[in-house]
Structure 1
């Protein structure tokens, strides 16, 4: 299982260092930032499973960071814990009320108590199936919430992204390297959506299988999915050995021990928008979205990712 990722935003180097060393020793992946904008830039690229925020920062307050996380469709689900010297009732009211943080801890703190509260909030998120265990992207319950929102919205676009050849790749290279591919896919999609989209875009991932989901608006969707397909084809080769990358395929074993050639991984992206409806429930919407995904393209003897719009 991949490490859960914690974002620590703290401008005092000694406290930041203490938290990083402690939580790393407890088996977490820790990202740190001493300024609010740096933290928000980190989150755009690599969403954490939980954010641990100080309030007093050089460029903005931790409350501002929390509000920004809650306002963004891609980060509104992340558990937020404030860890701050501001312990007045009014301060807690802002953190727990206005920002809707999950917890509020006043300095000085007991590091083991902080760990307990972090662990409890992460466990609660897992129990609710709110985040993918490898990538930290929204899943299950949060995806269903987003699909229900689409059913009542006037204008929308829904794209489903499937990594072709992922199962065979994992069989050949192993599950740990397979998790690296899932992280790569999540990172790539996050980067493209941050570059070409807005705060309204939602990114989710199914718990089973190498499948992602993106909601957007028609005027931005084509540029987003085309760029994802383009970048995936350009960058996926880095996950293969040099010989496999050079020849353009891998050798997988059949049940009888013979070998077969399998192409390098690609993505198939199917795109629906509000004009393809009406849709009456989320099951109909999700099944239709999956059905429009195309097969990979064969161009110049090479397999390429493919995008298809509409049903």
Structure 2
């Protein structure tokens, strides 16, 4: 299981260092930012599992960071805890009401109490099955919620992504190395979305609970760029997860249930892309099944073309 990521946004170095040292010692991965712009950049590239926000920052109020997180499908589920010297009733109402933070703690604070609150919020997120245990990407109901939103709008695009050969790879190399591949793919997706969709609040990246399957939603113009970024980087770098011999020969040798030795290619991606023009879709089951059919077509087309990874588009793709 991956370490849970905490973002600390605090412009006082002594408090920031205290929180980083304390939560790192408790087994969390801690990111720090002294300015709101840096905090938003971190959230765009590597969304945290929880955010600890000060209100008074050099470039913006912590409330604005919270509003941006709540407006973005990739980050709206993140628990927010304010740690601030501003304890007036109006400030609390903004933090808990407008921003919908989970807690509003006024300085000076008891760090053990803060840790208990943080732990409880992360436990609650896991109980709701909101985050994938390996990649920390949104999963389960958060994906369904995003897909339901697509059904009522226009101008969207959705990509369903599958890692071909992942099961064989984990059988040969083990589940721990397989988790590294999932984290690697999630990192490429977040990088692609951040670089292509900077400043856009419509992008969403999620991972299915079971299997090496990911979901991205964006606009038709950006989804193509995001998927091409992912496909090219994946094909270029996936070999680094294999040993030298497998990487050089370009395949694994496995023995099937009949005792026959087979050659299995290195992992690749199959990506199926749909847009609102492929609809209408009447429920998320129909949408997901159509995306899966498109993704399966990508696998067949890759084999026909003698390629590794491939992107297949729905009928509405221009």
Q: TM-score range by the shorter chain?
A: over 0.9
CA distance in 2, matches of 1:144, 1:298: 31
Give the equivalent residue in structure 1 for 2:126: 126
For structure 1, list consecutive stretches of 5 or more residues without a partner in the other structure: none
Counterpart secondary structure, 1:135: coil
Give the equivalent residue in structure 2 for 1:13: 13
Deviations 1:85-144 (A, max 9, x none): 111111111111111111111111111111111111111111222221222211111111
> In the TM superposition, what is the alpha-carbon distance from 1:49 to its structure 2 partner?
0.9
CA distance in 2, matches of 1:138, 1:104: 24
CA distance in 2, matches of 1:237, 1:166: 13
Give the equivalent residue in structure 1 for 2:224: 222
State TM-score, norm by structure 1: 0.93
Of 305, 310, 316 in structure 2, the residue corresponding to residue 306 of structure 1 is 310
For structure 2, list consecutive stretches of 5 or more residues without a partner in the other structure: none
CA distance in 1, matches of 2:60, 2:135: 28
Whether 2:85 is the aligned partner of 1:85: answer: yes
Whether the aligned pair in 1 keeps the contact of 2:151 and 2:282 (CA below 8 Å) is yes
CA distance in 2, matches of 1:220, 1:235: 23
CA distance in 2, matches of 1:250, 1:28: 36
CA distance in 2, matches of 1:69, 1:222: 25
CA distance in 2, matches of 1:265, 1:16: 41
CA distance in 1, matches of 2:213, 2:62: 33
Give the equivalent residue in structure 1 for 2:276: 274
Instruction: Mark the CA change 1:256 to 1:85 in structure 2 (over 3 Å): closer, same or farther.
Output: farther
> In the TM superposition, what is the alpha-carbon distance from 1:227 to its structure 2 partner?
2.1
Whether the aligned pair in 2 keeps the contact of 1:55 and 1:63 (CA below 8 Å) is yes
CA distance in 2, matches of 1:231, 1:138: 22
Whether the aligned pair in 2 keeps the contact of 1:156 and 1:218 (CA below 8 Å) is yes
Give the equivalent residue in structure 2 for 1:45: 45
Whether the aligned pair in 1 keeps the contact of 2:73 and 2:146 (CA below 8 Å) is no
Q: Counterparts of 1:77-226 in structure 2 under 5 Å? A: 77-197=77-197, 198-226=200-228
> In the TM superposition, what is the alpha-carbon distance from 1:175 to its structure 2 partner?
1.7
CA distance in 2, matches of 1:174, 1:9: 37
Instruction: Mark the CA change 1:88 to 1:262 in structure 2 (over 3 Å): closer, same or farther.
Output: same
Instruction: Mark the CA change 1:299 to 1:151 in structure 2 (over 3 Å): closer, same or farther.
Output: closer
Give the equivalent residue in structure 1 for 2:242: 240
Whether the aligned pair in 2 keeps the contact of 1:254 and 1:260 (CA below 8 Å) is yes
Regions of 4+ moved over 3 Å: 251-260, 298-301
> In the TM superposition, what is the alpha-carbon distance from 1:155 to its structure 2 partner?
2.5
Let me know the Cα RMSD of the aligned residues. Answer: 1.9
Instruction: Mark the CA change 1:239 to 1:299 in structure 2 (over 3 Å): closer, same or farther.
Output: farther
State TM-score, norm by structure 2: 0.91
Deviations 1:214-265 (A, max 9, x none): 1122222222222221121112222222332222123345457775432111
Whether the aligned pair in 2 keeps the contact of 1:4 and 1:133 (CA below 8 Å) is no
